[in-house]
Structure 1
Amino acid sequence: MTLQGKPYRLSDLIKQTGVRLTDCSNQFSDRFVSGITQIAQSVERDDIFVAFQGKTRHGVEFLDQVQSCAAVLTDNKGRHIMQSDCLPTRSTPILVTDSPRSDLIVLAKRVYPIDDIRIFGITGTNGKTSTMHIAAKLLEMMGISCGISTTIGSSASESDSCLTTPELCQLYARIFTAKQARADFFALEASSHAINRGRLGDIVLEVAAFTNLTPEHMEEHKNMEAYYQAKKALFLNKRSNSAVINIDTPYGIRLFKETGCSASVISENTKYGLDHKLFWQASVRRVGLSFGFTLISPSGYRVESSISLLGKAFALNTCMAIVILCNLGIDIERIDSVLRKAGGLKMVLPGRMEVFQTGNSPRVIVDHGHTVDAVETALVAAKSITRGRLITIINADGQRDPSKRKHLGQLCGAYSDKLFITDGHSRFENPAEIRRMILDGVEGPRRQVEQIPSMTQAVLAAIDIARSDDTVLCSGFGDDPYLDVLGKKIPYSLRDEVRRGLERFAQGT
């Protein structure tokens, strides 16, 4: 379903936006528009369906999935395809533009006006989602409303739910909806794909934050330099008014040096940036199953608190979130006060190092992390709290960078006492070949490695052999609401399967 925006008569919308159209077939003066979408399955009667060239197919090729709409906005290539292939248009107005991307931004801004809401964004390979949610949670604790664009909690029916950053129309619609709900802020994850493909439109961020950069999306960017340049673009050309950069990695240091010295920088390492006037010092310590942190501001103010999420990375991401909020003008004393009053940050992020345990059952952790760096971070965190064996379930996505699969196998084999290799989003790849590539990375004897294609069966097998002092780590899938197999999105919940497995464990069956 398309999120509804400000309603317009179609003819008035075209006139007021100044969009230049090369062709307007059929009469459209009396049509009303209250939404714009690029997702054919979600188009409704009063929507403009946007049909431009995608990565592999043109949008007009999905017209047969559109039941009814106010108009179709396409480009010259789309018009040619419709004419040559005799695609169905019924009595729908066809609007053809020579400037697809710029005209789409103009129309989206009119139907989904997003003035008067403060937007901040987070980019990087790992930590975007958790940092965004932690920032939103801190704002909530202070009585401040924050909307989010998220990869957590989307349903299988949302066709863009697999995207870290929604398509342009959906992003504007979500921001507009947050604004209508009187949100003061909106937080978004800025993926390299979204930056490269213009999905952020002409949004200017109040704060842009950089977490880290490790190898990922090589099927898209081909090399790390191209990947870095895509991320860097968020900090150039007035795309953001201020920046927060984690300089604990070489790419963070490079980004800081190449984008000017006005950014706030954060680091665990005191040798970085101590002479920089906007340097924030972070440190982390274990507190039971969770982590405490200390954050020292450039003025010397000290915040000491903790976060209930499992893993050092979440404590560091909390420090990053605090610096972002301070860059938005929120007093650090106010943030410190709410953390002290609450006894730390207590929250659950579905599918992000999420712990499931009942009675004397083994501990089961579900984690979305699917990059090499994120999987190793999850393995280290899980191993550190495990008295018995670490049993790991791993999968790798199809049609994504295949070079990381061997590394995943190597890491999981090294840290785990028992390893199950299973299938995830195989897409159009042979899942057995994906499993083989992961297996190839496992070093040493493989008697403790087992391939089970069904993720559900892998979960049940892992829980069945686990003892109460063991940990089962389900890595690489998280809270995804479906399995993407051969072009079909099959509804699926790993978290529900874990719950069922633990119920079976409790019953002794």
Structure 2
Amino acid sequence: MKLSQLLSQDMYLPPEWDREFNHLVSDSRDVNKGDLFIARSGTAGHGEKFIEDAIAGGAAAVLAEGEQGFRCAENGVPVFYLPQLRQQLPVWLNRRYCAAGDVRLIGVTGTNGKSSVTQYCAQLLELKGIQCGVIGTLGNGLWPHLQPTRNTTPDICLTYRLLNEVAQAGADIAAIEVSSHGLDQGRVEGLKFSVSVLTNISQDHLDYHGDMATYVAAKSRLFDPELSNIAVINTDDEYGEKLLQSALTGSKISTGSSPAAQVQYSSVEFTGLGMKANVRSPWGESELNLALMGEFNIANVTSALAALSALGYEFSSLAESAGKLRPVDGRMELYLAEGQPAVVIDFAHTPDALVNVVGALKNSGAYLSVVFGCGGERDRKKRPLMADAVATADAVWVTDDNPRGENSDQIFADIRQSAASAHYKFEHDRAVAIRSAIAATPTTGLVLIAGKGHETYQEIAGIRHSYSDAQTVYSLGYRRAGGDYAA
């Protein structure tokens, strides 16, 4: 595309400065030869200071926010300054990535659960033979072939480009994690969401937003009728209940365990293969049989069912397919082996996260063993708190979790400052600790392996060694629940 085609009637472009360009890019680190660099003002400064870096990376031209003007930069690269750049950018992106507008969007925001809901939507559609794009923390692209990402919600230029790519690959629907940062910084500006989902809101990112009121207000923007047609809101969350009662217009669907919820889950039962629950909705009632653990995952699945049903997909068929859902990588992944206790691998590596995961698993009523560790060269004060967080488990093994350059004996010593740790077992070799925990746990029990989640390495003395919790349990005859192994 030429600059003159992109800018159209928005500004006069002298023919001698017209240029062919490939992509619009607003992060100088991502510029490739022939790209058009967009230099905007932002929370961390103005992109103008990265213009020379973008040109060195091969930028063919630059559009910069500022008082209208022009200069010729190094290598004869034209730099155009425009005062209304931020307002015009979505218009330009729609011109360059015109297929992006053909994609129906599911936007998911919340402190926790964004990755799960977006990926559950994608999995449910895949099981129906429908291609779905995904943009979020664990990768971007056409499900399940996701590429690594730098941000939960990419910058606006990359978001439009990704939507254009999934549309060209054959998808007409995409599920996007929409972070509070993304909403505050205009990363989804100009997009219209067919359905927007709120999972929950708890304290987070106050270093950026300053206070809870500002944080909640940022997330609430996704449910403005100018951005969303349908709002799916978890009203078990106090902020969700307030949002539902706010001045939102358009269609609103409440979800949760409350009898007042329009899409309500109830009768939660933990089984040796996962969980069961009943779901009542405006589209009918169904029983869920999930190869997932933790009641919060039932809430996430319920949100995904509500979002897709609101778009016209058959509720009963979706609920039946939910039995084949797999957990998000490293998030409450359930592994099963005949005659062995069930194993759950989770990324929880903070005291609060451990409390939540242990609490969710204890609700099953099963005997619970926990394997956990603390990273080296990180906050030492949290180590005894981590030990306190798993104190309600029936048995605990403390092991190494990326000691990095720190002496792992020192890490153990810090953990032992917790009185609860007096009854814990300590074993540096993580694979040995896991095998010991499994061997000591009743076959009807659960083993939680916390901390590393989807990581495929163990960092010791500054060197990353190949290691995976999943591979360790696979070597003991386990298989991952979900998919073909669904309950």
Alignment correspondent of 1:14: 7
**TM-score, normalising length: structure 2:** 0.78
Contact 1:362 1:469 in 2 (8 A): no
- Do structure 1's residue 281 and structure 2's residue 229 form an aligned pair? no
Separation in 1, partners of 2:324, 2:160: 30
CA shift in 2, pair 1:292/1:148, >3 Å: same
Separation in 2, partners of 1:292, 1:312: 10
Deviations 1:429-480 (A, max 9, x none): x999xx99xx69975244568999xxxx774574375443456645455446
Contact 1:393 1:474 in 2 (8 A): no
Alignment correspondent of 1:329: 312
CA shift in 2, pair 1:267/1:505, >3 Å: closer
Separation in 1, partners of 2:191, 2:112: 23
Counterpart secondary structure, 2:8? helix
The 5 Å alignment of 1:83-232 reads 89-113=74-98, 114-153=100-139, 161-232=149-220
Larger strand percent: 2
CA shift in 2, pair 1:472/1:153, >3 Å: farther
- Give the aligned residue type for 1:110: R
- Do structure 1's residue 76 and structure 2's residue 60 form an aligned pair? no
Deviations 1:141-180 (A, max 9, x none): 222222111222469xx99824111111111111111111
CA shift in 2, pair 1:73/1:229, >3 Å: same
Counterpart secondary structure, 2:126? helix
Separation in 1, partners of 2:315, 2:475: 47
Separation in 2, partners of 1:377, 1:442: 22
Mean alpha-carbon deviation: is it higher for 243-252 or for 301-310?
A: 301-310
Contact 1:135 1:321 in 2 (8 A): yes
2:228 is aligned, of 207, 218, 240, to 240
- Sequence identity of aligned pairs in percent? 27
- Give the aligned residue type for 2:102: D
Separation in 2, partners of 1:366, 1:178: 31
Shift of 1:227: 1.4
Deviations 1:244-288 (A, max 9, x none): 111112111111111448411112122x35xxxxx2221222122
How many residues were matched structurally? 457
- Give the aligned residue type for 2:81: V
Contact 1:290 1:307 in 2 (8 A): yes
1:411 is aligned, of 354, 371, 389, to 389
- Do structure 1's residue 389 and structure 2's residue 375 form an aligned pair? no
- Do structure 1's residue 497 and structure 2's residue 468 form an aligned pair? yes
CA shift in 2, pair 1:305/1:461, >3 Å: same
Alignment correspondent of 2:484: none
Shift of 1:78: 13
The 5 Å alignment of 1:413-428 reads 413-415=391-393, 417-420=396-399, 422=401
Separation in 2, partners of 1:417, 1:200: 44
Separation in 1, partners of 2:465, 2:91: 38
Shift of 1:372: 6.5
Separation in 1, partners of 2:416, 2:45: 35
- Give the aligned residue type for 2:324: L
Separation in 1, partners of 2:463, 2:92: 33
**Structure 1, unpaired ranges of 5+:** 1-7, 274-278, 485-489
CA shift in 2, pair 1:211/1:473, >3 Å: same
Counterpart secondary structure, 1:349? coil
Separation in 2, partners of 1:51, 1:131: 33
CA shift in 2, pair 1:159/1:492, >3 Å: farther
**Structure 2, unpaired ranges of 5+:** 478-487
Contact 1:147 1:175 in 2 (8 A): yes
**TM-score, normalising length: structure 1:** 0.75
- Give the aligned residue type for 2:294: G
Aligned-CA RMSD value:
4.4
Separation in 2, partners of 1:100, 1:451: 58
Counterpart secondary structure, 1:69? coil
- Give the aligned residue type for 2:84: S
